[in-house]
Chain A
């Protein structure tokens, strides 16, 4: 018997089926609401997103399968030390402050659609126009892959099908629903489904912590149980060691600089109707880690105390295992877990659909329009973008299914780390470039290349691992040195700079 399977009856499955059908209906409504067949309308919803939709789409996009499965799984493995996640999710909002006000303003003035539209406007450098979009597509592809894998794992916990079959069905079915509503309604469908998914997600996290504490007792009992357990269990309560503390700092920096530059988050900055809407959303977002990420940590720690023995990628299933126990305890518990499971699906799909849409926009506008067919019409580009979504999802679903067949399955947090090592290399181009006129395109390009070479060159290096710092930060240090140094050499007189910052 699969201990992590939740015994959903027909009532629960029907509720979830209606929920998924509702997403398709929202996709159809998004299609009906379109103003024209332009890239601006399809990829940014016409740039008229108000504060409620903006907040919930930022929230639903940022808090994903990683938060629910990956964070609770990591907290299961290392205990309270994963409070790192509360800090680094807050650091993302701090990262936004470094560039979001100016970028939002410029995007409305100049009609940016993709993140590279800003880089092209600022630097007009062919090398950056090639490398930056490819880097962002790869990083997002990594992220989308993680969501698809989590979808498969979610369905493994839902049904009594053989696990391998349930995984494949989960990946294919949920990916298909996602790509259909996105093709129908573009950004509007994604943002409006995020409103529904984000709302259920917020409710779901609240429900989750109540359920866990009702079933297992409060956090005090969990703490006592771990302290009374083995050395491994005790370590989950004690402060991290020196390397753990350095790793904590590393996560804060790399997330603050890298995750704030998620291309789909940049597009949401563009899509905000006004500076006021953006400000209000960011204020709310600054406090959400203290609810969402913190709850995921408490769930993982509770699992560590009461469900020992899960190793590696298995520990990413702790959430479904705990939910199963709650669900079997009472009728109320059953229905609350049905709602929570809908929230889980919402978290996964809301993040995945944003990744997919943004990948499509970058490949269409930055690569196809930029280098292959510069004269393509908006209508053709929008059509191409829709086809690309299908191709990307099909490819990545295949990879997700393949990776599940491997002997050693990667944990969700390991997949997450790779993405930020890459994204953080864009920080000088965006964050420094918005404030320092002397930063040149040539310097940013060579800094970017240097950063990526150092980052990937150091991958797997034992000494780097022993420091506790992500190799992406070493890459960023090299990147900044080159970008700043070259700029000081190439642009001796700021008044001569042709940099466009307005």
Chain B
């Protein structure tokens, strides 16, 4: 998912002379910022739902990580 957001966020696919605007800024910057926001939201979701249970407060870590 991060790879997808990175591919969208980096403006490699926009023509080099593309000057259209959105909300007063170059359109490509708006897409890039949306991708960054997506990465922030994904990070939040991962922190809330995928924090290793053995690393929660009061838990002992597992001895075999695999």
B residues in contact with A102, CB < 8 Å: 52, 55, 61
A47 CB to nearest chain B CB (Å) = 13
From known contacts A101-B55, A286-B40, infer whether A87 and B63 are also in contact, taking CB-CB under 8 Å. no
Q: What 1/0 mask marks residues of chain A from 208 to 249 whose CB sits below 8 Å from any chain B CB? A: 000000000011110100010000001001111110010011
Q: Tell whether A93 pairs with B43 under 8 Å between CB atoms, given A80-B25, A218-B24.
A: yes
Closest to B15 in A: A239
Q: List the B side residues contacting A51 at CB < 8 Å.
A: none
Contact of B26 among A90, A238, A294 (CB under 8 A): A238
The answer on a CB contact under 8 Å between B54 and A283 is: no
Contact of B16 among A97, A221, A239, A249 (CB under 8 A): A239
Per the 8 Å Cβ criterion, residues 271-297 of A in contact with B are 274-276, 279, 282-283, 286-287, 289-290, 294
Question: Contacts A83-B33, A223-B26, A290-B40 given: A239-B47 contact, CB under 8 Å?
Answer: no
Q: Is A106 engaged at the interface, CB distance under 8 Å to the other chain?
A: yes
Residues of chain B in range 5-29 having any CB-CB distance to chain A below 8 Å: 6, 9-12, 14-19, 21, 23-26, 28-29
How many chain B residues touch the partner (CB < 8 A)?
Answer: 45
> B29 to A83, Cβ gap below 8 A?
yes
Known A80-B26, A94-B2: A105·B40 in contact at CB below 8 Å? no
Q: Which of B6, B35, B61 contacts A109 (CB 8 A)?
A: B61
Q: Are B63 and A238 in contact (CB under 8 A)?
A: no
A residues near B43, Cβ cutoff 8 Å: 90, 93-94, 97, 282-283, 286
In the bound complex, do residue B26 and residue A239 qualify as a contact, i.e. CB atoms below 8 Å apart? yes
CB pair A101 B32 closer than 8 Å: no
Q: Which secondary structure characterizes the binding site on chain A?
A: helix
Choose one: B39, B47, B52; the contact of A283 (CB below 8 Å).
Answer: B47
Q: Are B62 and A237 in contact (CB under 8 A)?
A: no
Contact A238 B39 (CB under 8 A): no
A282 near B47 (CB under 8 angstroms)? Answer: yes
Whether A290 pairs with B63 at a CB distance below 8 angstroms is no
List A contacts of B36 (CB < 8 A).
83, 86-87, 90, 289-290
Pick the contact of A87 from B9, B15, B47 — CB < 8 Å?
Answer: B9
Residues of B within 8 A of A290 (CB): 33, 36-37, 40
A316 to B23, CA, bound (A): 27
Residues of chain A within 8 A (CB-CB) of B16 are 238-239, 241
Q: How far is the CA of A234 from the CA of B16 in the complex (A)?
A: 11
In the bound complex, what is the Cα–Cα distance between A360 and B52 (angstroms)?
32
6 nearest CB pairs, A to B: A220-B24, A245-B12, A239-B14, A105-B55, A101-B55, A239-B11
Known pairs A87-B39, A90-B39, A234-B19 / 17 extra A-B pairs, C-beta < 8 Å? A83-B32, A93-B43, A102-B52, A104-B55, A105-B55, A220-B24, A227-B19, A252-B6, A252-B10, A274-B57, A275-B51, A276-B57, A282-B47, A283-B43, A283-B44, A289-B36, A290-B37
11 A-B pairs with CB atoms under 8 Å apart are A83-B33, A87-B6, A90-B40, A101-B52, A104-B55, A105-B59, A245-B10, A248-B11, A252-B6, A279-B51, A289-B40
